[in-house]
Amino acid sequence: MLEPEVEQYYNTYFELFMQEGWEQFMADVQQAVDTIQILAIQDAKELHLAQGQLQVFQRLLTWQDSITNTYEAALEEANYTEESDA
């Protein structure tokens, strides 16, 4: 079992992910990714800017999966610890 404050931390995210606004935000981020035209980049400065944008957008697009995976790993660890203590 997770500590109550840790459980609340994850529950807050899971509530966020269920909101219509989250889906809209993810659609907007994906649209922003889709508008970056790599072939239109003219110099190294534009390339670095596009790389930075794509890194941020990718982090946002995978945020829900990252939180879910971390939560599941924390649960597994907590269950393992409880079993070891028993």
Q: pLDDT tens-digit profile of 39-64?
A: 999 999 999 999 999 999 999 999 99
pLDDT classification of 21: cutoffs 50, 70, 90 = very high
pTM passes above 0.95: no
Identify the residue with better confidence: 16 or 83. Answer: 16
At residue 86, does pLDDT exceed 70?
no
pLDDT band at 26 (very low <50, low <70, confident <90, very high): very high
- pLDDT, residue 80, reads 84
What CA–CA distance (Å, rounded) separates 54 from 46? 12
**Residues 38, 50 contacting (CB under 8 angstroms):** yes
